[in-house]
Chains A and B, each alone.
Chain A
Amino acid sequence: MHAPMNDSGHQDVVSAFAERYHALAGFAHVVQNPAEAGAKAGQILREAGATLAAMAGLPEDLVDPIVQGLAGAGIDCDSGPFPSVELPGRIDRASAGITGADFAIAQSGTLVEVATNDAVRLVSSLPRTHIGIVRARDIVPRFDDAAPRLREIFNAHGGGCTVSFISGPSRTGDIELKLTLGVHGPEIAHAIVIADGER
């Protein structure tokens, strides 16, 4: 596992991540606990005009707080399980997707999603708005730090496993090299960083 870091070091990493994520046209929010994360998600989606959010790949302890947060904001939530016969249509209906990130990289503003069920990938790639949720303690400072984590993840999953680095919203420069957001995937990307942890 990655080396533990002291509190102030961690704050630096969190703000470095947030700064970079903003530079990539994403929106990063730092909250103090899962309940706040749920409330923030609800607020974001209400403001985005979303009505239904699909949810996948969240750690178990986050599912309830997020569902409650969305309910508080009047947003319906589909948290699966998603049988393959209903895919991809069931996720395509959702106007927002919420997924958990296994870790994040501060240097590049990257959320790293690990999927052994492709429903998770569809949740973060089909809807127009995506919210990725990560624990502050899971943000590594440098891009290089990802190598041992990738090795660990692929060694832990012998069969099918897909790791996605997601750095902000979907973009293209294919017309006149001018940056344009949201061509296929999420046009609006939010990262919620939960600062509590188990220190």
Chain B
Amino acid sequence: MASQRNKALYAKIADALENPDRSRALNRCMQRGRDNRSRAISALPDGLEFRNRVKAIKDRCTEQQESLLEKFVVTARERGAKVFLARDGAAAIDYVLELARARNAKSVAKSKSLTTEEIDINDPLLDAGLRVVETDLGELILQLAHERPYHLVFPSVHKMAADVAEIFAKETGQTIPPDIPSIMKVVRAYLRPIFLNADIGMTGANIGVAESGTIVIETNEGNGRLVSSIGDCHVCVMGVEKIVDTFEDALELVLAHPVSASGQLPTTYVTWMGGRSPLGAGEGKAPRESHIIILDNGRAAMRDDPGMREALNCIRCGACMNICPTYSVVGGHTFGYIYPGPIGIPWTAGVHGLEKAGDFAALCISCGLCKEICPAKIDMPMMIAEVKHRDACVHGHSRSEQTMMAADDFARLGSALAPFANRTLKNPLARKAMASILGVDERRNLPPFAKESFTRWFSRRTSRNEGAAHRVAFFVDVFANYNRPDLGVAVVDRLEALGCEVVLPEQKSSGYPYVAYGDLDRAREVAAYNVARFAPCAEQGCDIVAIEPTAAYCLRETYPKLLHHSRKSLLVSDHSYELFAYLNLREGGAAASDDRLRGKRFGFHVSCHQRPLGSGRDAQEWLRRRGADVTLIETGTCCGMGGTFGLKAGPLGYDLSKAAGESLCAMFLEAGVDAIVTESSVCAIQLREGTGLPVFHPLELVAGPPFE
């Protein structure tokens, strides 16, 4: 059933899962990257505020791209640089080949440039007889190992010291101890003559400044400086989206980039090149050339495509891969084409075509964390959903994806046939059949269905507090409706005890799986349906409360985007609350301590979709007010479940999900807590299976029987 393409992807995932030590090493590096970033941000006077400024700068410069390009070309030429506008990679490569021929050049020393990776410039130069050497350590390791970048900022992060020592030992014929200082000595000596003798130095550019025709190159190693100060000829290959207007714009990016990438403020070297300075002084000075190749290669089309335009805001910091739960298991050779990681999906679609992007887009589990960490606040999850959607229009959806998108229908059916359905869920043979027919992994413990749904219960009760000052429209979603209506009932009890009137507008489940697997037409239908029914409540002053974090995320964040920020969708968003944010608001800080919570230690898990909604602080505060000993336990990334992703059968589901959640589960066990608390129904499944600890919804701890 799996297509040829899925088979290739499955094989790569299986390979990663068979080498857990490699994944764990990568995961540790990604954790280090996140920790470094957090430390750097805590030292910034206004914390995360820079993200808003970066977004504003990039939005403005994308808008003005044509005029900024024109301005840059004029100012750069005034400084004596030769500027060439390359429509695509082939044009850029031809230009460099012709230049090398005209100069009779023998060797090219390169500093790191993803843009030259994008157009694969090295091979044609080598074919033309030039010696091309990458001088960034990470890129050099890859060049010697004949591999592609694994990560945007740390291209060889998958190579451990021992691997690197072996690579250089092979290249230099020396014996190299596998420690980093020894490797450095060899690298320095190996590269020095290459720097000194290069005929052409080639770099990328992190930024182009239109007001002065200046290119900005950020490096830590200093190889960018050497490559651009030695040799008679410097060539810079820069994507057109790198051009900003002013020095002020550029300085903002010069900080935002390394803060997000490596936790630095700024990189060790930032080189602002305006034209080309002579080498030597007085009579002895020699003329030198500067060539700036400005590459389009699909960028103009991305700019004209509302679904992809925001990708041009990427400043290539790599933070999205540091936080991506599945990237940190499979790495950038599986999760990427040339551009790896979450942002690699829209970029690959833009510059290498939809087909290539579709080859790995399904690795995105739609946790949304990339958007939360991105210094330019790029809505990667929605862009990736768009890529998946376009890809599915050509290739269709897999069986398991179709099942997950129909979860609401299955749950309704399951609830209607509860006793039978629950027996089926426990029957190994039936589960085997479900796995092969529906693509639901048989190893998952699926929650049983309740005989009476919450909606049914609500319809036969008499409402209380009619005409109260606070009316609440409750958004129940799948789990609290069909699996755990007792939680829905507890919500109603709590709200009514606080004097609120509770209403239950007609509604469908959140529809987030349609976004996660890329059926944006149906995602929009559900969004429009729910917004049409909740907007009138909001108009009458109702507050909207959701119990499931992903549902609150949909109401607050996703629906407005799907519905192009319609007035009604924004109204619904503005009136929507996560359950505990609302309970805290109405309780006003008053709550009696609860004996049932005493003497236990709880570890709290934040679901990814809560990150933009307050990171679960409200539920923790609500529990602590009742005397609970609650500790937040987090790796900074996802538990690996990714909503329904971890329910899917096989490597691109359960297996990958388990591997992605491994480090978080280990943290809970190390913390020695008595139980885990989370608001997400799906994270709960993953954590229960991964830790063997009891997992509760916060309401269960105080509403249900005392926990043992």
**A residues lining the B interface (CB < 8 Å):** 24, 80-89, 92, 107-108, 110, 115-119, 121-122, 125-126, 143-144, 146-148, 150-151, 154-155, 157-178, 180, 182-186
Contacts and interface: CB of A to CB of B under 8 A. Distances in A.
Interface centre among B154, B272, B278 (most CB of A within 10 A): B272
Nearest to A162: B273
Contacts of B157: 174, 176-177
A170 B164 CA distance: 19
A122 B281 CA distance: 13
B161 A83 contact: no
Contacts of A184: 135, 188, 191, 195, 221-223, 226
A199 B212 CA distance: 33
B248 A147 contact: yes
B667 interface: no
B265 to A, nearest CB: 5
Given A169-B268, A185-B269, 20 more contacts: A84-B279, A87-B279, A116-B277, A121-B229, A122-B229, A125-B225, A147-B248, A147-B251, A154-B272, A161-B277, A165-B266, A171-B220, A175-B161, A175-B180, A177-B157, A182-B188, A183-B187, A183-B188, A184-B135, A185-B221
Interface stretch (B2-10, B64-72, B282-290, B359-367): B282-290
Contacts of B79: 158-161
B251 A173 contact: no
B271 interface: yes
Interface in B218-232: 220-223, 225-226, 228-230
Interface residues of B, number: 74
Contacts of B489: none
Nearest to B231: A88
Contact of B154 (A147, A170, A174, A182): A174
Contacts of A150: 212, 247, 251, 272
Contacts of A148: 247
Contact of A170 (B221, B266, B270, B283): B221
Contact of B279 (A118, A126, A143, A175): A118
Nearest to B266: A108
Top 5 A-B residue pairs of the complex, sorted by shortest distance between their CB atoms: A83-B284, A185-B222, A84-B280, A174-B138, A84-B286
B548 interface: no
A119 B279 CA distance: 6
Interface centre among A110, A118, A180, A184 (most CB of B within 10 A): A184
Interface in B242-274: 246-248, 251, 254-255, 262, 265-274
Interface centre among B275, B277, B286, B290 (most CB of A within 10 A): B277
A168 B141 CA distance: 24
Contacts of A147: 246-248, 251
Contacts, number: 214
A93 to B, nearest CB: 11
24 contacts: A82-B284, A85-B286, A88-B196, A89-B196, A121-B277, A144-B251, A150-B247, A160-B277, A160-B288, A160-B290, A162-B271, A164-B225, A171-B220, A172-B220, A173-B154, A175-B137, A175-B183, A176-B180, A177-B32, A177-B154, A184-B221, A184-B226, A185-B222, A185-B269
Interface string B136-177: 111001000000000000111101110010000000000000
B192 interface: yes
Given A84-B286, A162-B274, A119 B281 contact: yes
A171 B268 CA distance: 7
B274 A154 contact: yes
Nearest to B248: A147
Nearest to A189: B268
A177 B223 CA distance: 18
B618 to A, nearest CB: 34
Contacts of A125: 222, 225-226, 229
B141 to A, nearest CB: 7
B281 A88 contact: no
